[in-house]
Amino acid sequence: MSDARGLVELFDAIWGGAVTTMAAALAGRLMWHSTEVRARKRRFLSRELLWELPVAVGMAIIGEAVAAYFELGRTVTTGVVASLAYLGPRGAQVALTRVFFHNKES
């Protein structure tokens, strides 16, 4: 049997779950910010980048709660956090609206 670990398990072992979760949230927001930079909507090093920090923290908290509700494992939880952080509050709202209200007309 192999003792090989994935990246998430390695980060958890070295730094712990909280740091791994925040790293995933920050990575998710940085991916979104980079997309905006490529679209020339933002400069990479700008004030807007600072606004991504509270969004990352908030989405990490929400992602942890969602993962706990569905009793997901540590690796999947980190993925959920990164995905929600990438979407951000507005993206998560749009996704949830499409899932729950897709048959209703506004």
Task: Tell which residue, 99, 70, 68, 64, has the closest CA to residue 84.
Answer: 64
Euclidean distance between CA atoms 3 and 22, whole angstroms: 26
Euclidean distance between CA atoms 80 and 73, whole angstroms: 10
Cα dihedral 44→16→84→27 (10° resolution)? 20
> Which residue matches tokens 């729950």?
100
Euclidean distance between CA atoms 61 and 68, whole angstroms: 11
Mind listing the pLDDT tens digit of every residue in the chain (106 residues)?
455 577 777 777 777 778 888 889 999 998 988 888 899 998 888 888 888 889 999 999 999 999 999 999 888 999 999 999 999 999 988 988 888 887 665 5
Q: Is this prediction's pTM over 0.85?
A: no
Question: Is residue 6 within a helix (H) or strand (E), and if so which, with residue range?
Answer: none
> Which residue matches tokens 């020339």?
40
